[in-house]
């Protein structure tokens, strides 16, 4: 895990300049509501907030602006996102530390920075606007591009590898479980048949095969026929649900008492995981019939949102990508086993090279 150096400002008209402008145009989903939920925990000097999915840095920028006493640890598995966000956050200097890692490694990242507990964690799940807009990354089904879909392009497995090597049964399982695709078996069989003629390399051919194997009635009413397959492939390539299953408990584990977590999900599979983990934390585990609630059985968190909040109509109109957002948040009210809370920040020297 290394902190990328903030690059110099790009020359006007260069490719890098175009990338810089792209992140400036980015509109973070439910930005103000996320700040509203996390800011009460970030009022003390030295309080630390973790943006576990940095993306292009819009939420991080808003948090650092609204919470001048706070410092930021920002994590992303995508080196390109870290580079672009680094430019955006450069004016905050040492208040922002950027780390290349997968967000389920939050405890290890903080340990390397000499931080024990934090006051806030933000997670903005799924594919980022940057990844969708960079057509050569292969996340979008609307343009012909290499079948990549890796959030970290240093990772080994790509979408093309999955399409060209997985069995029909495994492809069916992925499309059914991760894409909730009704025609998973039919599409998987067609993929296996077609790859025997020619391996898959780009997205247009895959989109055509999917369209040919989704009934016309469904194509007319169910949105783009490739949407669910592309979601399933992306989740498998990046192991998104497995990472999320580890990441939410890990984030709760590093929260100090009084610390807050906010998680935005964009599809039902993610939201179910977040809902379940938070529900476990707000529930008492006191055995039935016990006359008093022992501290070790008391709820460790309280919910800050009633169910999952969604963007208002204005935001959904201005930013169509916000439409499927579900935001859940909670506050830590007790340490593990009912013990006292740990300090929000330790005085240990960083063990790694990630500190600013």
Binding-site members for S-adenosyl-L-methionine are 57-59, 76, 103, 124, 131
- C-alpha to C-alpha distances, 229 to 46, 119, 132, 254, nearest whole angstrom: 44, 38, 15, 35
Distance of CA 336 to the CA centre of its chain: 25
Cβ partners under 8 Å of residue 320, min gap 6: none
Query: Which residue's entry shows tokens 């790694």?
Result: 352
CA-CA-CA-CA torsion sign (46, 51, 57, 59): negative
What residues have CB less than 8 Å from 278, skipping those under 6 apart? Answer: 248, 301, 303, 328, 330
CB neighbours of residue 1 within 10 Å: 15
92 in Cβ contact with 71 (< 8 Å):
no
The candidate with the shortest Cα–Cα distance to 60, out of 109, 122, 113, 107, is 122
Query: How far is CA 200 from each of CA 134, 162, 206, 292, rounded to the nearest angstrom?
Result: 20, 10, 7, 62
H-type helices in 182-238, by residue range? 184-195, 203-212, 216-221, 227-238
Q: How many residues does the chain have?
A: 356
Select from 106, 107, 89 the least CA-distant residue to 97. Answer: 89
Q: Residues marked as binding? A: 57-59, 76, 103, 124, 131
The answer to whether the beta carbons of residues 56 and 128 sit under 8 Å apart is yes
Closest Cα to residue 248, out of 179, 297, 177, 301? Answer: 301
Give the CA count within 13 Å in the CB-facing half-sphere of 243: 20
Kindly list the distances between the CA atom of residue 94 and the CA atoms of 185, 334, 354, in Å, as whole numbers in the listed order. 52, 31, 12
């Amino acid at each position: 895990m290394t902190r990328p150096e903030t690059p110099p400002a790009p020359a006007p008209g260069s490719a890098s300049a175009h990338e810089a402008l792209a992140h400036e145009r980015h509109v973070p989903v439910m930005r103000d509501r996320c700040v509203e939920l996390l800011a009460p925990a970030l009022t003390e000097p030295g309080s630390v907030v973790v943006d576990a999915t940095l993306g292009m840095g819009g939420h991080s920028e808003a948090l650092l602006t609204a919470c001048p006493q706070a410092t930021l640890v920002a994590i992303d598995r995508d080196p390109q996102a870290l580079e672009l966000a680094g430019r955006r956050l450069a004016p905050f200097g040492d208040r922002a530390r950027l780390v290349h890692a997968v967000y389920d490694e939050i405890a290890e990242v903080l340990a390397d920075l000499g931080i024990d507990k934090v006051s806030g964690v933000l997670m903005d799940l799924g594919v980022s606007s940057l990844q969708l807009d960079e057509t050569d990354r292969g996340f979008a089904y609307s343009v012909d591009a290499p079948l990549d879909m890796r959030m970290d392009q240093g990772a080994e497995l790509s979408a093309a590898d999955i399409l060209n090597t997985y069995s029909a049964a495994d492809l069916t399982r992925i499309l059914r479980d991760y894409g909730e695709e009704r025609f998973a078996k039919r599409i998987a069989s067609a993929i296996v048949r077609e790859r025997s003629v020619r391996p898959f390399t780009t997205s247009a051919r895959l989109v055509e095969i999917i369209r040919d194997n989704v009934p016309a009635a469904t194509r007319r009413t169910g949105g783009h026929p490739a949407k669910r397959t592309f979601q399933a492939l992306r989740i498998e390539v990046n192991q998104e649900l497995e990472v999320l299953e580890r990441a939410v408990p890990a984030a709760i584990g590093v929260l100090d008492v009084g610390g807050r977590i906010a998680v935005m999900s964009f599809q039902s599979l993610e939201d179910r995981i977040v809902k379940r983990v938070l529900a476990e934390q707000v529930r008492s585990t006191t055995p039935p019939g016990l006359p008093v609630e022992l501290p070790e059985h008391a709820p460790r968190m309280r919910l800050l949102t009633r169910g999952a909040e969604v963007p208002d109509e204005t935001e959904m109109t201005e930013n169509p990508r916000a439409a499927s957002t579900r935001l859940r948040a909670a506050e830590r009210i007790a340490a593990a086993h009912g013990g006292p809370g740990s300090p929000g920040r330790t005085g240990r020297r960083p063990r790694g090279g990630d500190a600013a």
